[in-house]
Each structure stands twice: as structure tokens, then as C-alpha cells.
A and B are shown apart, each in its own frame.
Chain A
Amino acid sequence: MNWLPPDGALHGIALDNLLRWNLAILFWLFVAAHVLIVAALLLRRPRNSPSSVAAPTKTETLRPLLILEFLTLAAVSALYIAMDVTGHQLWAASREQPSAFQPVEVEITGVQFQWYFRYPGPDGVYGATRPTLVSAPTGNPLGLDPTDPHSADDIVSSILILPAGEPIDITLQSQDVIHGFFVPGMRLKQDAIPGMPGHLQFTPATAGDYSILCSQVCGLGHYRMQARLRIVSPDQYKSWLADRERAVLKAAR
């Protein structure tokens, strides 16, 4: 049975393959070891058999067993190294690369117990925020500073809408405690650490709705700190963004 949720990200295909063959090999190693343990329990030498009491002779099973042990150790060590190398290729591709050319930028902020998504607007620059201005009840959950000209066109959303097929660059941050930005359907996870904004890059592939969860215990509402990620076609994305931009600029005026 396939337990993994459907994958919607470009890097997820290789990741799922890697995870599947790793799980398969390790599962069979688990089975093999247990066959040995059960065999040792069931195939016990008879009581009073000579080899169970008397001194083992030099040729008794030890040497071949030890050679077998060292060969097996070498084999599993080679397997671990192969896993590390193949795993590192994926890690390097997703985390050790420079920023993609002209990615879609979005800033994600974790707040007990909400995710907020901010798009920089037509000017392409995020406006300044101030902790003292944070006020969710009055519609300014991120503390946007109205005196900063860049903040007037910023779009703050509680749903994350992104275009399929385009590289995304997320700036990830937290307003209060550590949160974990986790999108199982995008095979994506990184902690949002207060005071230390981080970056996360990926390319969504398949349109659809995906769940955003919090993967780092953040307080009593941890289990309900969820949001929706909607992957749409690039055209739908452009028209949605244009609608929101118009609405924001109208409100600012």
C-alpha cells in the first residue's frame, strides 16, 4: 500500500523513488536478520550434543562465520555509502544551489497558529514591517509600516497560490516561536526560526490543492496551524495576482 501522499513537486519524483528503494532494501535486511534470529531459536542443537558441551575444535564454525560477518559488514557499509551519495545528490540539487533565475517570490510568516503569505506586489520589494504595528484584529497581522512606500502594494494572503512549472523562492520567517513549514504534497519542510529568515526553493509541477502543516510544536494550537496551498496554471496565477494587486492599491488609496 502506498502511504505517501500524491506528489505535486518537480523534485518529489526523484525523492519518492529514492525513499522507496531505500525502504525496500532496508525492509528486506530487516526480514533477513529476523529469519536468522528465528532460525537460531528453532534450529537449536540437541541437548548434550557433543559440540554443545565439549571444547570447540579449531575448525569449528567460527572462522567461516567471521569471514561471512566481515563480508556482510563491508556490503552493508557500501550500501550505507551508496545511500548517502544518492541522497546527497538530491540534497545538493535542492539546497546547495544558487537562486533560480527570476523566481516567483513569496514571504511566508508563521504566527501562533496561522501561516501568512506575502507577495511583494508590482514594485517587487517587500515593505518594511515593525513589531509594534502588528495587529491581526485591525487587518495588519505582519505589522506592515504604512510610511514605507514599498508596503502599499504588498499582498498579504492566508492562502498560498503559486503557478505550476515556475521556480519558487520562499523567504521563511516566524513572528513568535519556531514553526515548521511542512507541505507533504510538495515534499517540502523547513523550520521558520524567529530572527533568522531562511530560504526554500522548489518548483511545483501539478495543479491542485495541497495542505500546509506545522511540523514543529509551537503551542496549544499546533495541530490546527494549517493552511492551503493552491497550485494553478501560470495564466490563472497572473490574473489572480493582478486582481489582488488592484484590490490592494484601491484600498491604499
Chain B
Amino acid sequence: MTRRLFTTNPRALALNYLFLALLAVITGTLLSLLMRIHRTWPNLAIPPHGVIRPEDYLALVTMHGTLMIFFVLTVVPQSAFPNLVLPAQIGAEGMAFSRLNAAAFWITAVSLLVLLAAFFVPEGAPISGWTNYPPLSALSAAGPGQTTGMDLWLVAITLFCLASVLSSANFLVTILNNRAPGMTFARLPLTVWSWLVSSGLTVIAFTALFVAASLLLADRHFGTSFFLPSGIVVNGIPARSGTGTPMLWLHLFWFFGHPEVYITILPGMGLASSILANFTRRPVPAYRLMVIATLLIGVLGLGVWGHHMFVSGMNPYAGTAFGLTTIAISVPSSAEVLTWLVMLFRGRLHPTTPMLFILGFLSFFIAGGLTGPILAQPALDAYLHNTFFVVAHFHLVMAMAGVFSIFAGIYYWYPLLTGRRMNELLGKIHFWISLIAAYGAFFPMHFAGLAGEPRHYSQLNGPVESFTRLIPVERGITWSAFLLAAVQLVFLFNVFWSARRGVAESGTNPWRATTLEWSPIAHPIIGNSPYEYAPAPAPGDNFLPQWEPEKPF
């Protein structure tokens, strides 16, 4: 046990990360169900807590967002999966800095414990949402949870930033320096290209968040005023006067926050290309285009943060410029989607569970992505900003697409860890019910948003506006959320059951894949590009793995 915990072996670390993310996702899901219960039955007392108060609801929102975005959607694709397969996929012995890599896991684990501790301190967890805009997050008097709970959030996030930068720097060096002989850039699997870009983004973006969180801690405890202007009065009492502005936090936070979206989704996009090639038995048709699109998304992703701030009072000309960069980034994103659609019509499509989850990923990526060009227009965003339309958008394009690619990865790479496949029937039940329930939970949020319902409302009926016609919609969302959460039990059962009872694999390459994590050879010399599914070296065996000798012609 101790050896397992304090390992520097990347695969063992990947498992540690996966269990950490499992703890986070279970907690985050339960929090979201409590939110749904409160929105649908506001007066229901939940033992042992009792009726959820408005501040409790906001604490649930804050912690749900923080857990899911950092500890699930970042940790799994950007920490667990690279540890699982990145060294193998480039033919490396291990990571470039294996102790640093292990240290990153430990800092992440401490960060999670610090964050969860916020539930147990007086006044509870912070209530200012995962974006924690000051002055609400800077002044303890501004609300319950903004004292110790807020400090714990900031410390947890500072630690998380540190861990992410360390582990991503390690991935960058590993990809650049530790490739096996013959593994040229043109032969990198698209997953590795994705990790190259997302690791670069992580180093840049999480540094900005580290700075922002540190400065906010300084504002709270060391008398600085990076984010505090003068003239603030909270509860009738003048607050400490300052010379800063909350706008600085918005810029720093979103300079992190938007690249973060691509950090969570780029690895899934790379995996989608690999899995589509594998289960249609055809190469990725436009490999270079996919690489360029991935790089473009990375570069443009650093210049779109202002689209979160169209209505913040930022200069309207800046809004125009950020609208343009945001429209620009939908072009490489569309190029990737169209390539995946083309891949569906080549060769024979094998609807295995990993393939189905990638189709689900594709479906959500399209559904959520298509509202991007609407929200990229400042004029339209000025109506839709911070309504449930935005909640629908990012839950589809980031959360559901991200989670479905995570499931695809787990079903796909499971034999690497256990030598067995997960049960296909349970996998398909898991897929179809999750797909339907996720659409049921998140698609109707578009309508709530169009009706003007703002986010972060603990109840629908206020003193002036009561959104009564949304009550049936809200109820449907709640029941779908329950179904979505419940069917994950099938997945959990499958994970643990298949470890002992799953179909045992005879060879090392159950999916007849071409990338190196399936190689039976320890020190391969790379002779082929990553997706040689076309030419048939032997009858019935129409693929050429990267570890096989170079093709004769």
C-alpha cells in the first residue's frame, strides 16, 4: 500500500490520479444533486442538514464547479491519462522528471483535502462561485463562507496551480526530449500533440491563476489592494480603502479560465482522432490539418479570454476584438469536427463501447460548440451572459464532452491496467442511458437561459420575477440529473467487476491498435506514422503498428 502510494511509476500515479478524481466526481455529483433537489423542492429538509439556505446553495455551486473543473476535468485528461500512456506512446522509458511528477500528484492530493476542508470550517464553503470575483471574495464581511472557507479555497487553488505547472513542465520536457529513436514529430499520435499543446497552455494559464490567487490572499491578509477600489461600503460599514480594481482579477482569472477550457478538452480531441481511426480501421485522413488545428486552438485560446467580460464594463472596442478572436477559434474547432465526421464514413465502423463514447463526445462537442458563435457575439452575449444558456453551453461542450472522452479513455485503456476488457453490455447500457440523461439534463437549460433566468439563483421565485413557466423545465432537468447520476453506478460496478471477471486478453493489443502503449516490445524502434490502418501486411490484418518495422514500400 505504501509502495503504491509513494510510487514514481507513471502508471501507478495514473491510478492514484484516477482514484482522486473518482472521489472528486462523486462529491461533485452529490453536490449537484443537492442543488437540483433544492431548485425543484425548495422547502424540502434534507437530513442531517435541514432545509438548504441560499448561502448553502451558493456554497454547493462554488464547490461543485471547483471540484469538477479542477479535480475531474483537468486531473483526468491532463494528469491521469498522460501518466497512463504518454511515456509509452512516445516510446520513452518513463517521465523526464519522475520525482517531480510524483510530487505533483502529492500536491494535488493535498490541494483536494484543503478544498474539501472548507465544508467543515465555521460558516462553511465560499459562496462566490468558482470564479470568485472580488470584492465578494476579498472581503470577509461580504457574506458567509467568505472567511476561512474562502482562504481554504485560495490555498487549495494555489497548490493546484503549482502541481499543474510542475506536472505539465515535466510532460513538455518528456515529449520534447524522451522520444524513442524514429519517433519524429510527424509520427506523434494526436493524443501526444494534444498533450504538448495542453501542457504548454497549462504552464501559461495556471501561472496566471497562481498569481491571481496569491494576490487575492495578499489583499485579504497583508493589507494590499490589488483588487479593491476605494469607497466600498459593505453592510453600511465602509471597507478598507484601496487603489486597485476588481477588473484586474477578471482579466487574470479569465486569462487562466479560457485556456483552461482547452486544457480540459484538447486531450479528449486527440483521443477522439485515435479511437475513430482505430475503430473504423482507417488512418486519420488529414493528420497535418489536425496537428495545425490543435496548435491553432492552443495559440488562439490564449487570446479569447475577454469574451467572458463583454458586459463587465470593459471597453466596447475590446469586446469587438475578443468577439473576432473567438469566432476565429471556431474555425480550427470546426475543422477537427468535420474531419471526425469524414472518418465515420471510411472503412467499417466498429461500435465498441470506447467508440460509442467518442461518438457521444462528438455529439456533445457539436451541440455545445454550436452555441459558441452565438455567445461570441457581444451583442447577443449581452442578453445571454450569466443565464442558463451559458450553463447549457459549457456543460455540453466542456463537461459532457470532457466526461464522455474520459469514459472512452477508461474503457479503451482498461486492458492496459488489468489485462481484461470491461463488460461490453454494461458499457453500452452505461453509454445510451448517460447520453439520453445528459441531454435531458443540459439541453433544456438553453430554454431557461433564453427566458432570461440568471445563474446562481437558489430559487426561481423572487420578489419581482418568478419564472413560473420554467418550473416544468426545471423538474425535467432534475429527474434527468438523477438518472444521469444513477446510471454511473453501472459504470462503477463494471470497473470493479471486470477487473476480476472481464474477458481476459491473450495478447497485449486487444483493440488491434497502432500506437505504442499496446506494444509487446520494450524498446521499439519507430518505423511508421501513428495511424497505419490501411495497407495490409498480411491478409485479414490490415494495420501496421508503430513498433513494427518500416513498411517495405
Cβ–Cβ contact B246 & A195, under 8 A: yes
CB < 8 Å neighbour of A131 from B231, B324, B367, B452: B231
B485 on the interface (CB 8 Å rule)?
no
- Does B428 count as interface, using CB distance less than 8 angstroms? no
A158 → chain B closest CB, angstroms: 11
Q: Which residues of A contact B129 (CB under 8 A)?
A: 217
Complex Cα distance, B462 from A213, in Å, reads: 9
Query: Contacts of B234 on A, CB cut-off 8 Å?
Result: 112, 176-177
| Cβ contact within 8 Å between A134 and B58 | no
CB-based nearest B residue for A68: B342
Q: Mark A132-150, 1 if CB is under 8 A from B, else 0.
A: 1011110000010000000
Chain B residues with CB below 8 A from A182, complex form:
386, 452, 454
- Inter-chain contact B387/A196, CB cutoff 8 Å: no
Question: Contacting chain B: which of A52-60, A161-169, A245-253?
Answer: A52-60
Give every chain A residue within 8 A of B342 (Cβ-Cβ).
65-66, 68-69
Q: Chain A residues with Cβ under 8 A from B376's Cβ?
A: 83-84
| Contact count band on B | 35 or more
Q: Does B346 contact A (CB under 8 A)?
A: yes
Given A217-B455, A218-B136; A91-B385 close (CB under 8 Å): no
Stretch at the interface among A100-108, A219-227, A235-243: A219-227
Interface centre among A72, A96, A132, A178, by most B CB within 10 Å?
A: A178
Evaluate contact between B464 and A220: CB separation under 8 angstroms. Answer: no
- Tell yes or no: B509 within 8 A of A by CB: no
Task: Give Cα A56–Cα B347 distance, bound, in whole angstroms.
Answer: 8
- Bound form: Cα–Cα A4–B230 in Å: 39
Which one of B153-161, B211-219, B278-286 contacts A? B278-286
Query: A212: which B residues are within 8 A, CB to CB?
Result: 464
How does the 8 Å CB contact mask read for B55-97 relative to A, with 1 for contact and 0 for none?
Answer: 1001001000000000000000000000000000000000000
Contact pick for A66, options B143, B236, B286, B540, CB 8 Å: B286
**Contact B58 A222, beta carbon cutoff 8 Å:** yes
Docked CA distance A225–B323 (Å): 30
Binary interface encoding of chain B residues 283-296 relative to chain A, with 1 for a CB under 8 A from any of its CBs, else 0: 00110000000000
CA distance in complex: A77, B332 (Å): 9
CB contact between A80 and one of B247, B330, B452 (< 8 Å): that residue: B330
The one of A54, A61, A111 that contacts B536, using a Cβ cutoff of 8 Å:
A54
Determine if B436 is an interface residue (Cβ-Cβ < 8 Å): no
A87 lies within 8 A of B454 (CB)? no
Measured between beta carbons, the chain B residues less than 8 angstroms from A34 are 363, 366
Q: Mark A85-99, 1 if CB is under 8 A from B, else 0.
A: 001101110111000
> What is the CB-to-nearest-CB distance from A26 to chain B, in angstroms, rounded to a whole number?
4
Complex CA gap A45/B459 in Å reads 51
Across the interface, name the chain A residue whose C-beta is closest to B281: A52
Give B57 Cβ to nearest chain A Cβ, in Å.
8
Inter-chain contact A65/B346, CB cutoff 8 Å: yes
- The docked-state distance in angstroms from the alpha carbon of A185 to that of B320 is 24
Query: B41 within 8 Å of A by Cβ?
Result: no
Instruction: Tell me whether B522 is interfacial, beta carbon within 8 Å.
Output: no
B127–A223 CB distance below 8 A: no
Contact status of A193 and B341, CB under 8 A, knowing A40-B349, A53-B540, A213-B454: no
B3 CB contacts on chain A under 8 angstroms: none
Pick the interface stretch among B19-27, B114-122, B195-203, B310-318. Answer: B310-318
**Secondary structure of the B contact surface, majority rule:** loop
- Find the residue from A3, A5, A65, A182 having the highest chain B CB count within 10 A: A3
Q: Do B320 and A91 touch across chains, with their CB atoms under 8 A apart?
A: yes
Interchain CB contact under 8 A, B58 and A224? no
Q: Which residue of B lies closest to A197 (CB)?
A: B313
- B40 adjacent to chain A (CB < 8 Å): no
Contacts of B348 in A (CB 8 A): 44-45, 47, 49, 51-52
CB-nearest residue of chain B to A184: B452
Set B344, B447, B457: member contacting A36, Cβ < 8 A: B344
**B418 touches A (CB below 8 Å):** no
Distance, CA A242 to CA B245, complexed state (A): 38
Q: Are B54 and A87 in contact (CB under 8 A)?
A: no
Give Cα distance in the complex from A70 to B232, angstroms.
55
Give the Cβ gap from B102 to chain A, nearest Cβ, in Å: 38
A41→B359 contact, CB < 8 A: yes
Question: Do B458 and A194 have beta carbons less than 8 Å apart?
Answer: no
A198 smallest CB distance to B (angstroms): 4
B44 at the interface (CB under 8 A from A): no
Contact, CB under 8 Å: B377 / A223: no
Cα-based distance from A176 to B146 in the complex (angstroms): 14
Within 8 A of A (CB), among B33-51: none
Q: Are A87 and B344 closer than 8 Å at their CB atoms?
A: no
* A215 on interface, CB distance cutoff 8 Å: yes
B354 at the interface (CB under 8 A from A): no
CB of B351 within 8 Å of the partner chain: yes
CB contact under 8 A between A194 and B232, given known A3-B450, A223-B462: yes
Q: Does B378 contact A (CB under 8 A)?
A: yes
A214 to chain B, nearest CB (A): 7
Partner of B534, one of A33, A55, A80, A87: A55
The interface residues of chain A lying within 8 Å CB-to-CB of B349 are 40-41, 44-45
Q: Decide: B452 and A213 in contact? CB cutoff 8 A.
A: yes
C-alpha spacing A143/B237, complex, angstroms: 11
Per-position 1/0 for B317-355, Cβ under 8 A of A = 101100110010011001101110110111111010000
Q: Given the interface contacts A80-B327, A87-B380, does A177 sit within 8 Å of B374 by beta carbon? A: no
A18, A55, A96: which contacts B535 (Cβ < 8 A)? A55
Task: Say yes or no: is B133 at the interface (Cβ < 8 Å to chain A).
Answer: yes
Closest to B340 in A: A37
The distance in angstroms between the C-alpha atoms of A65 and B285, with both chains bound, is 10
- CB–CB A211/B345 < 8 A: no
Known contacts A5-B452, A49-B348, A188-B382; 11 further A-B pairs (Cβ under 8 A) = A1-B447, A18-B380, A37-B344, A54-B536, A60-B346, A90-B379, A91-B316, A189-B383, A215-B454, A217-B455, A220-B144
Q: 5 closest pairs, A vs B, by CB?
A: A195-B229, A87-B377, A184-B452, A52-B348, A40-B344
Q: Which residues of B contact A (CB under 8 A)?
A: 53-55, 58, 61, 127-129, 133-136, 139, 142-144, 229-236, 238-239, 245-247, 281-282, 285-286, 311-313, 316-317, 319-320, 323-324, 327, 330-331, 334-335, 337-339, 341-342, 344-349, 351, 359, 362-363, 366-367, 370-371, 373-374, 376-380, 382-383, 385-387, 447, 450-452, 454-459, 462-465, 534-536, 540, 542
Binding site for B on A (CB under 8 A): 1, 3-5, 15, 18-19, 22-23, 26-27, 29-30, 33-34, 36-37, 40-41, 44-45, 47, 49, 51-56, 60-62, 65-66, 68-69, 72-73, 76-77, 79-81, 83-84, 87-88, 90-92, 94-96, 111-112, 131-132, 134-137, 143, 172, 175-178, 180, 182, 184, 187-191, 193-196, 198, 211-224, 226-228
